[in-house]
Amino acid sequence: MSTSRETDIEELEPTRLERRSADIVEPRAEQLRALFPEVVRDGKLDLDALAAALGDVVDDGPERFGLTWPGKSEAIRMAQRPSEGTLVPMEDESVDWDTTKNVIVEGENLEVIKVLQRSYHGRVKLIYIDPPYNTGKDFVYADNFRDPLGEYLRASGQVDANGGRLRANAETSGRYHSAWLSMMWPRLHLARSLLADDGVFAVSIDDVEGPRLRLLLDEIFGEENFVATIVWHKMDSPKNSARHFSEDHEYLLIYARDADGWRPNLLPRSEEMVARYKNPDNDPRGPWLLGDMAARNPYAEGRYAITTPSGRIIEGPPAGSYWRISKPRFEELDTDGRIWWGSGDVRPGIKRFLSEVRDGVVPQTYWHWREVGSTRNAKRAIHALMQAKSGEDLFDTPKPVQLMDRLLELTTSARRTGARFGLLRRLRHDGGGGPTPQRRRRGAAALRPRPARRGAR
């Protein structure tokens, strides 16, 4: 986990981070006991009595819409189990331990997310994850889902291989999609609880599991909190070895904790955008951009005739469209010099002054690699950062720093907490834009999970 660009509003020193996980089930059960005391039987909740108390809002029909798979019940129980690990500070592997405001936690991410619940529940502004895409090669899952921390320790070489093995989730496996969904459910469920009320969740994915991930996120976040699917054009050249099509894009699925209340930050205008504003009539209000008078959205007051300065009558808007403003509003703008007639005989337009538009542009759902980087850019950056040898392949699918910057720019201010779990790569840039390991201006405190001792607090 890492804090975003500068410092937190509510700074959490690494040494004060809670190292044991919270019980996520009991607080919810206690709320139900307080709301419905009549459904408590011998200290337990009677679900039949709770359904009766809720009345018609409970759907008890035999058929209902939803996503299910073999192993889903176990995945839900996995999210409910407290972590068996604790976080151990690694001061010798940290940078600026006494002064840093950043924290990097290395470990099996499900166990880490559980431990973070105590310190960061409801406080994180942005969570970004880059999960395995389940291509049959990149997703290695544990045979023993009951011991995720043990599997992580074995996979990372921190203990021996006794007691379990790992295997690739090949397409021939009967659990191909089910195993991936079971891995994702508890992590997504617990990640949501870390989000602040105005928090945002973003996840990278491709077409292999994209449709199922969308259904899974709709279930966990609520489909009403879906914000957008971003298409990231990640390839800076076509893949000529492709079997069918060169797959040049991936997706980012964006969800908000509360989509009704959340809005993305505006993106700064580029010099090219600003250059489109001209002032051919020397208007004292400055440069402007011509806006179309016609719009496709139906508008009851958007059908009327317009007489041009030359006397030609325009009977109405183009077929299938409406004037975007009423006739009284049109006359008001014309009197104020905000209608542009061109040669005096053409369809008019509305002058949009640069001095009056918002300080930024609304983000779009297509992100080109020239704006947010490509996979090739990311590989070059990580190889330079890690000083890799020629031909050494460190990581197959790194994400470019520009892509992460775009997410941070849209979803956070400079003083809020952000988290990324998965493989973390914080690349700093030198003055020329290239990453360099020698210029780490800010430090990070490292924490690593270890199995908790019995009786430890």
User: 3-state SS string over the chain?
Assistant: CEECCCCCCCCCCHHHCCCCCCCCCHHHHHHHHHHCHHHEECCEECHHHHHHHHHHHCCCCCCCCCCCCCCHHHHHHHHHCCCCEEEEECHHHCECCCCCCCEEECCCHHHHHHHHHHHHCCCEEEEEECCCCCCCCCCEEECCCCCHHHHHHHHCCCCCCCCCCEEECCCCCCCHHHHHHHHHHHHHHHHHHHEEEEEEEEEEECCCCHHHHHHHHHHHHCHHHEEEEEEEECCCCCCCCCCCCCCCEEEEEEEECCCCCCCCCCECCCHHHHHCCECCCCCCCCCEEEEECEECCCCCCCCCCEECCCCCEECCCCCCCEECCCHHHHHHHHHCCCEECCCCCCCCEEEEECCCCCCCECCCCEEEHHHHCCHHHHHHHHHHHCCCCCCCCCCCCCCCHHHHHHHHHHHCCCCCEEEEECCCCCCCECCCCCECCCCCCCCEEEEEEEECCCCCC
Residue 223 placed within a domain: yes
Residue stretches of the chain with pLDDT short of 70: 1-24, 62, 136-175, 414-457
Residue 358 maps to a domain? no
Report the C-alpha gap between 370 and 361 in whole angstroms: 18
44 with 140, same domain? yes
Instruction: For residues 281 and 184, state if they share a domain.
Output: no
Do both 93 and 151 map to the same domain? yes
> Between vectors from CA 367 to CA 136 and to CA 125, what angle results, nearest 5°?
85
In a domain, 457, yes or no: no
Residues 383, 290, single domain; the answer is no
Residues 121, 29, single domain; the answer is: yes
Same domain, 249 and 284: no
Q: Residue 324: its pLDDT value, please? A: 95
Q: Is the residue at 338 inside a domain?
A: yes
Q: Which domain holds residue 302?
A: 271-353
The alpha carbon torsion through 219, 224, 227, 232 (nearest 10 deg) reads 40
The answer to whether residue 456 is domain-embedded is no
Among 328, 353, 378, give the residue marking a domain's end: 353
Please answer whether residues 83 and 115 qualify as being in contact, where contact means their C-beta atoms are separated by less than 8 angstroms: yes
- 383 and 346 share one domain: no
Is residue 289 domain-shared with residue 385, that is, in the same domain?
no
Q: pLDDT tens for residues 6-53? A: 333 344 444 455 655 666 677 777 888 888 888 888 778 877 787 777
Looking at the structure, tell me whether residues 111 and 125 fall in a common domain: yes
| Single-letter code of the amino acid located at 12 | L
Last residue of a domain, one of 305, 335, 353: 353
- Both 443 and 322 in one domain: the answer is no
Q: Are residues 240 and 290 in the same domain?
A: no
Whether residues 238 and 298 fall in one domain: no
- The total number of structural domains that make up the chain: 2
Is residue 217 within 8 A of residue 236, CB to CB? The reply is no
